[in-house]
Amino acid sequence: MADNAQPRLVANGICKSFPGVRALHEVNLRVFPGEILALLGENGAGKSTLMKILAGVQKPDAGTIEAEGVVIPVGSVQEALRQGIALIHQELNLATNLTVGANIFLGREPHRYGWIDEKAIAAESRRVLDLVGLEIDPSREVGDLTLGQMQLVEIAKALSVNARVLILDEPTSSLSARETDRLFAVMGDLRERGVSLIYISHRLAEIQRMADRVTVLRDGLNAGELSRTEISHDAMVRLMVGRDVSRVYQRTAGTPGATVLELKEVRTPANPSQSVSLQVRAGEIVGLAGLIGAGRTELLEALFGVTPPLAGEIRVEGKPLQPQHPRDAVRGGLALVPEDRKKQGVVLAESVRRNLSLASLERDRLRGFLLNEAAESEITSRMIRELRIKTPGEEQPVRFLSGGNQQKVVIGKWLAMSPRVFLLDEPTRGIDVGAKQEIYQLMETLAASGAGILFVSSELEEILGLADRVLVMHEGRLTGELSRGELSEERIMTLATGGPAGASRANGSDHQA
């Protein structure tokens, strides 16, 4: 990328504050035609905010934006679209009551005097859906799609703009390896055609693979830039975190003890025709791999009593458990760190203190049902200290914590209950490298303290690095088990995509109940 070329989009001195937070301060950003610019930064660094400002969704407090050298009005989505700037948001933003086609063209419907041209929509949707490799009928309601499919619809929607600047804010966090590859192919293709792409991800491997240039934000300030040749894991991490973080995490395996969690032929409502059997032993970290939609979350949610299992036997430390409600699971010694942190993990509006004590209030109660505020304070301060939760104070609403610290609050909430088994669903989704490492260490400490750990992850990297043993799921059943020795990306992927016919028999599926 020749720097003398005219930048397509330039942001100058962007400032943005929210109540109590300075999200961006004097931030500058340039992106050139036909390049993929990776935007890096820890949780809360201001990446999404900056992108929302570029896309006109939010209005900056100060600063200007130039497209092709011309200053454009800020804070207007239409204006941004007119400039060919399209943004794929970090969170899904779809109207689940409308069809796929309607969502793809939402706000840009081809029409005559307000009269919608459905034919045009159908045809054009088909085209962009093919681009992202989604073979579904554009007239289907988005509400019926799976999360992975929804994410792809978001991407197709952005592509349909024929954008000159395409911004992707953590698009892969809910995509499987295969869908990710597909996306990267599309991105490369767009780059060839001279489109400028801004790409945000916490997965450094992906960035090394795709980025022509890297810009890093830290605490809402420009922290530096890396050209194609300078891009390396360590360089990126140093700019983001300001310290070194080892490349891939390597677990120092311990010696597992007695079995703490045992499943015999458990059937979940999501996959009634399949049954799952598995064990987790004390001090053991077991990874649960699989493609999106493999049914891993449903399995964990069934164990935890969110969607009670239909059949089968569950034992925690030998004691039988029939979870009809999370309460039963908690009393049985289970803890779940759910997939959707903001909706299921924390009460966003409430304070760090109230979130940390929420699960243990009942255990510590006084005279039947009175609050034990002493115990609450003790737990709060201890967890903040031990988990090094970054917060201005105990009374800070969790909403204002970064993703990583929110996740620590979820873990701290359960730590106070000292459960026997931890179930973690995508524990590091959308969490930055620094925080990731801390979460990993936490998981190890938990294991070391004799708890059993079963964690779902779609990031092979962390499965490989962290698991003593890996179970692979496909369409609701276990297709295989790999010990630390046998671990390899290929093996996991083959099993995840249906695996060798033999593997599926191994785990007592196809029992007609």
Partner 1 sequence: MKRIIGIAVLLLVVYLATWIMADAFSGRAVFMSGYNQENLLRRIALYGILGIGVSLVIITGGIDLSLGSVVCLVGVGVPWLAVGQGWPMPVVLLLALVLPLAIGLGHGLLVTRLRLQPFIVTLCGLLIYRGVTRGFTQDQTAGFGNGFKALRWLANGEIPLFSGFGIPVPLLILGVVAALVAVFLNRTIYGRYLLALGNSEEAARFSGIQTDRMVIVAYVICSFLAGLAGLLFVLDVNLAQPVDFGNFYELFAIAAAVLGGCSLRGGTGTVLGVLAGTALIQVLRNMINLVFPAYQNMEYAVIGLVILAGVVADELAKRAVARQKAGS
Where do contacts with ligand ATP occur on this chain (CB under 6 A)? 18-19, 21, 23, 41, 43-49, 90, 146-148, 174, 290, 292-298, 339, 400, 402-403, 425-426, 430, 456, 458
C-beta separation of 58 from 80 below 8 A: no
C-beta separation of 157 from 103 below 8 A: yes
Distance CA 492, CA 478 (A): 12
C-beta separation of 313 from 279 below 8 A: no
Residue 57 CB, nearest approach to ligand ATP (Å): 11
Question: Which residue, chain included where needed, has tokens 């992202």?
Answer: 132
Distance CA 99, CA 113 (A): 22
147 binds, among Mg ion, ligand ATP, partner 1, none (CB under 5 to 8 A by kind): ligand ATP
3-class SS of residue 191: helix
**Which residue, 223 or 356, is less far from partner 1 as judged by CB?**
356
Q: Which residues bind partner 1 (CB under 8 A)?
A: 17-20, 55-57, 61, 77-78, 80-81, 87, 89, 93-98, 102-103, 106-109, 111, 114-116, 269-270, 272, 304, 306, 325-327, 329-331, 336, 338, 343-350, 354, 358-359, 361-362, 365, 369-371, 413
**Residue type, position 262, single letter:** E
> Which residue, among 415, 404, 304, has the nearest Cα to 359 in the 3D structure?
415
**Which residue, 48 or 274, is less far from Mg ion as judged by CB?**
48
Residue 370 CB, nearest approach to partner 1 (Å): 6
**Which residue, 167 or 321, is less far from Mg ion as judged by CB?**
167
Residue 435 CB, nearest approach to partner 1 (Å): 20
378 binds, among ligand ATP, partner 1, Mg ion, none (CB under 5 to 8 A by kind): none
245 binds, among partner 1, Mg ion, ligand ATP, none (CB under 5 to 8 A by kind): none
Q: How far is CA 77 from CA 81, 85, 128, 162, in A?
A: 6, 9, 21, 15
**Which residue, 154 or 425, is less far from ligand ATP as judged by CB?**
425
- The secondary structure element, H or E, covering residue 16 is strand 9-18
Distance CA 17, CA 510 (A): 56
Residue 40 CB, nearest approach to ligand ATP (Å): 9
Strands 21-31 and 115-116: unpaired
Residue 50 CB, nearest approach to Mg ion (Å): 9
Cβ neighbours of residue 103 under 8 Å, at least 6 residues apart?
94, 95, 142, 153, 157
The DSSP output letter for 26 is E
Residue 490 CB, nearest approach to ligand ATP (Å): 19
What would the two tokens of residue 264 be? 């015999």
403 binds, among ligand ATP, partner 1, Mg ion, none (CB under 5 to 8 A by kind): ligand ATP
- What is the full DSSP assignment across 227-238? EGGG--HHHHHH
**Which residue, 282 or 336, is less far from ligand ATP as judged by CB?**
336
Distance CA 486, CA 494 (A): 13
**Which residue, 370 or 501, is less far from partner 1 as judged by CB?**
370
3-class SS of residue 12: strand
> Which residue, among 491, 501, 510, has the nearest Cα to 289 in the 3D structure?
491
365 binds, among partner 1, Mg ion, ligand ATP, none (CB under 5 to 8 A by kind): partner 1
Residue 294 CB, nearest approach to ligand ATP (Å): 4
392 binds, among ligand ATP, Mg ion, partner 1, none (CB under 5 to 8 A by kind): none
497 binds, among Mg ion, ligand ATP, partner 1, none (CB under 5 to 8 A by kind): none
Q: Which residues bind Mg ion (CB under 5 A)?
A: 48, 90, 297, 339
The phi, psi pair for 56, rounded to 5°, reads: 80, 5
C-beta separation of 156 from 129 below 8 A: yes
**Which residue, 237 or 292, is less far from ligand ATP as judged by CB?**
292
**Which residue, 211 or 282, is less far from ligand ATP as judged by CB?**
211
CB hemisphere CA count around 43 (13 angstroms): 20
> Which residue, among 286, 205, 336, 335, has the nearest Cα to 463 in the 3D structure?
286
Q: Which residue is nearest to ligand ATP (CB)?
A: 146
111 binds, among Mg ion, partner 1, ligand ATP, none (CB under 5 to 8 A by kind): partner 1
Residue 402 CB, nearest approach to ligand ATP (Å): 6
**Residue type, position 433, single letter:** V
List b or e across 478-507, with b for residues whose CB sees 16 or more CB atoms inside 10 angstroms: bbbbbeeeebeeebbbbbbbebeeebbeeb
205 binds, among partner 1, ligand ATP, Mg ion, none (CB under 5 to 8 A by kind): none
> Which residue, among 11, 478, 13, has the nearest Cα to 268 in the 3D structure?
478
Residue 374 CB, nearest approach to ligand ATP (Å): 31
Residue 334 CB, nearest approach to Mg ion (Å): 17
Residue 157 CB, nearest approach to partner 1 (Å): 8
303 binds, among partner 1, ligand ATP, Mg ion, none (CB under 5 to 8 A by kind): none
**Which residue, 47 or 477, is less far from ligand ATP as judged by CB?**
47
